[in-house]
Amino acid sequence: MAKTDPIRAHLMRLDKAVLVTLFLKHADEGFLAQLGLEVARQAPGGPDLARFRQSLQGILGDLGWEEGTTSSDLDRFADSLRALMTDGHPGAAMELAAEALEGLEQAWDNVDSSDDYMGCVATDLREIHHEACSQIRPDPRKLAGWVFRMEMANDYGTFDNLVDEYRPLLGLQGLEQVHRLASEVWDRVPPLGPGNKQAPDYGRSNIRRFMLKLTRPDPEAHLAVLERDLSGPMDFLGLAEHCLASGWADRSIAWAEKGLQAFPDKDPSLASFLADRYAEVGRLGEALSLRWALFEARPQVDTYKHLVAVAHRAGETIAWRQRALDLLQDRFEGGRNRTSHWGRQDLDQLVLIHLHEKAALEALAAARKGGCTHGTWMHLAKGLEPMHPGDALKILQEQLDTIIAPMKPEAYRDAVAVLGRIQELALRLQQPGLFTTTLALVMTGHARKKNLVTLIRKAGLA
């Protein structure tokens, strides 16, 4: 015979009112909230929407950082909406899901950023709303109004691509209403010209982004939207890129030229784009002028490569190459007596350009003349290894102390790897003593760095 549980037996003897009081006294808030939603769902006359809304407002009102609503509270609400769908009340689920999504977007600033699951709950609510709409097929114009409102409130990307998602449900009538609503708002947005300053404006950004999405199938309409904001160089670049993608090469160049005229010293991307377009249509002189200006402003390997590529097409490689190298040398010489590091940086770029051109010895001569940074020395050593192992070995020896200096595990691992390279180069040169001497200097000079010494021994180098 099974033994009776005394606690269960005690509870069974209690009066119902006493039992309810005991239950309510000890139930936690989460369970009571769930119970409240169950009561609303199973109300005798059908779902109690007022009670659902009261619960939702409490959840949204408590969104915050300390002891407020978390994703589990909203997740519980979403589960109750799914239960409503199962009960055969998709209309109620649709209304409540829409209100929950709107309220969540408005309260998103208060959401704890560490609660990653909140975004998943928002996605769940979206799915519930879409599923409910699929079942009841609401008035497409009303649905269009909700979709448009959510797109305009989409400051955090929670409601991206709603129009595409609801397109089959919106139909032609709903899509026309979306376009009408968007156009009414867009027509009230003032155009911005070069230099127009404006504080960050989510409303303007959202309607512009939405209009760009709506007009994507129509290149001319899309262009008209882009033309309304010419406040920065990247806006002109966007126009030029759109024209190029649409097959309007001349218009692309024209917009890039206008942008460069309005913002001559702001962003190299626009000048680089225009230089490429000039080169494509054979305007090589103008392309070279732009590429030279870009190289002068930022004399580095990437700007050098672009300059030389255009010069090659124009049959003027030697002249432009020498002009670029002379610029770097002149800047280095001009900066030698300054306390600034610009001179060394310029020579770094000269070394790297020589390496790019597979001229390792020229790179070495430039580096020995003026010195360069540790990273460039290491690039140079790698470039010298195939054909000039002795020079590479010497650079690696010189850089060892710099590599070890941070005294961190990764620095010690790098030092061991370099010692391995020195050993290989010494063997190639048939001068193993070069490695032995280097190793001895490291082991004695850094004998107190026990972790380094241990790594060297583990690598079988000592």
Backbone phi and psi for residue 192, each to the nearest 5 degrees, phi listed first: -120, 135
Backbone phi and psi for residue 88, each to the nearest 5 degrees, phi listed first: 90, 30
Domain ranges of the chain: 17-136, 282-372, 375-462
pLDDT tens per residue across span 163-182: 999 999 999 999 999 999 99
Look at residue 71 and tell me whether its pLDDT is greater than 80.
no
Q: Which residues lie across from 229 on neighbouring strands?
A: 192
Look at residue 342 and tell me whether its pLDDT is greater than 50.
no
Are the C-beta atoms of 118 and 71 separated by less than 8 Å?
yes
pTM of the model: 0.77
Biggest CA–CA distance in the chain, Å, is 106
Structural tokens at position 282: 């054979």
Closest CA to 429 of 380, 394, 389, 369: 389
**DSSP classification of residue 190:** P
User: Contacts for 354-359 with beta carbons within 8 Å, 24 or more apart?
Assistant: 355/379, 355/380, 355/383, 356/301, 356/304, 356/305, 358/383
Look at residue 286 and tell me whether its pLDDT is greater than 60.
yes
For the chain, give the mean pLDDT: 88
Look at residue 19 and tell me whether its pLDDT is greater than 60.
yes
Burial of 357 (0-12, 13-18, 19+ CB in 10 A): middle
**DSSP classification of residue 113:** T
Q: Please provide the DSSP assignment of 118-169 as one string.
A: HHHHHHHHHHHHHHHHHHH---HHHHHHHHHHHHHT-SSSTTTTHHHHHHHH
Structural tokens at position 31: 């369970």
pLDDT tens per residue across span 231-248: 999 999 999 999 999 999
pLDDT band at 344 (very low <50, low <70, confident <90, very high): low
Which residue is it, tokens 């309220």? 103
Cite the beta strand spans of 287-375 per DSSP E.
none
Using only the alpha carbons of the chain, give its radius of gyration: 35
